[in-house]
Amino acid sequence: MTRRMAFLKGKTADIKTIAVLTSGGDAPGMNAAIRGVVRTAVVNGLKVKGIRRGYTGLLEEDFVDMDARSTSDIIQHGGTILYTARCAEMMHDEGVARAAEILKKNNIDGLVVIGGDGSYRGARALAEKGANVVGVPGTIDLDIACTDYTIGFDTALNTAMECIDRVRDTSASHERCSIIEVMGRKAGHIALWCGIANGAEEILIPERYDYEEQAIIDRIALRKRLGKRLHIIINAEGIGDSNGMAKRIEEATGLETRATIIGYIQRGGSPTCRDRVFASVMGSKAVDILVSGGKNRVVCYREGKFTDMDIFEALEMQKDIDNSLWEISRKLCR
């Protein structure tokens, strides 16, 4: 909705300048989200300030004026043109108060925060100090409770899936057991999806793993006796010690076992079509929310629709993995 359309509908906020930052781990599609924010703001006649390096840049007043041209030729690139950072100072009340004061001093009427749940907590803290914030979910981990989609998850998933296919080829040739560790310190969404997509025998995720390693060893030994030559175990990062686990499985089963940690490869690369489109929509929607008078909201994708909700409510929600997907994965891991 343009500012004029919002005005005609009787809902418009008196805002002139907004700012946008990316925070926490970078995610492919963040650039598309920035572009969505900037260009929708321009259409609505707003000034836009890009804040470099997340909350660190906010505290250092590292601002850059942005227009439609500042976001040319970026939609296809991974990473974030605004850079990102983790900012310890924001974890303290004085840091948050200073950041809120800086927003006020620079006449910033609305701040769009593109990041994960930590970045959302930072935004909520700013809201408590009087700032108006809108969160856009940007994290490869899919671990934001209020939304079924986060920017970068789709790209990270497809990157991990391709990497696992490659490891699988060499494991099949050498008749090995392979443990492949994907990202997800507290959340097993990438591991679960790849576990299904890559046909893994075992999927170990923080939400469900009981640390009964002997049970895994017994299942591998049984599959080996039944003639299985290739065994793929997908570990979410939060399970930890994939190398140690490989050693113990090799000793117990006699099967050559190797661990591969995919790591930061999953973070980079050109975003998928889904990430580009969803990020563009979410960035644009964040500005619509500000223009139409919304305060302290987060953009979400729920039950197949783009929507938004109160940031305080959103951060009260808890996320689990999709249990029906987990149950299906149990039936397919043979």
Query: Residue 26 CB, nearest distance to ligand ATP (Å)?
Result: 8
> How far, in Å, CA of 287 to CA of 18, rounded?
9
Residue 139, interface with ligand ATP (CB under 6 A)?
A: yes
Residue 183, interface with ligand ATP (CB under 6 A)?
A: no
Of 201 and 278, CB closest to ligand ATP:
278
- Name the 3-class secondary structure at 28: coil
Of 44 and 149, CB closest to ligand ATP:
149
DSSP state of 138: B
- Name the 3-class secondary structure at 292: coil
Query: Residue 92 CB, nearest distance to ligand ATP (Å)?
Result: 8
Inter-helix orientation angle 153-174/273-291, to 10°: 160
Residue 87, interface with ligand ATP (CB under 6 A)?
A: yes
Q: What is the DSSP string of 190-224?
A: HHHHHHHHTT-SEEE-TTT----HHHHHHHHHHHH
Residue 22, interface with ligand ATP (CB under 6 A)?
A: no
Of the candidate residues 5, 13, 74, 91, the single one contacting ligand ATP (CB under 6 A): 91
Residue 248, interface with ligand ATP (CB under 6 A)?
A: no
Q: Output the CA torsion 118→124→129→130 (10° steps).
A: 140
- 252-311 residues near ligand ATP, rule: CB under 6 A: none
Residue 153, interface with ligand ATP (CB under 6 A)?
A: no
Of 122 and 271, CB closest to ligand ATP:
122
Query: Residue 93 CB, nearest distance to ligand ATP (Å)?
Result: 9
Residue 149, interface with ligand ATP (CB under 6 A)?
A: no
**Full 3-state SS string of 147-164:** CCCCECHHHHHHHHHHHH
Residue 141, interface with ligand ATP (CB under 6 A)?
A: yes
Which position among 141, 154, 275, 288 bears the catalytic label?
141
Q: Which of 291, 285, 281 is nearest to 9 (CA)?
A: 291
Whether 288 is a known active-site residue: answer no
Neighbours of 249 (CB within 10 A): 23
> How far, in Å, CA of 187 to CA of 236, rounded?
8
Stretch in the footprint of ligand ATP (CB under 6 A) among 58-66, 118-126, 231-239, 322-330: 118-126
Catalytic center residues? 141
Site of interaction with ligand ATP (CB under 6 A): 23-25, 55, 86-87, 90-91, 115-119, 121-122, 125, 139, 141
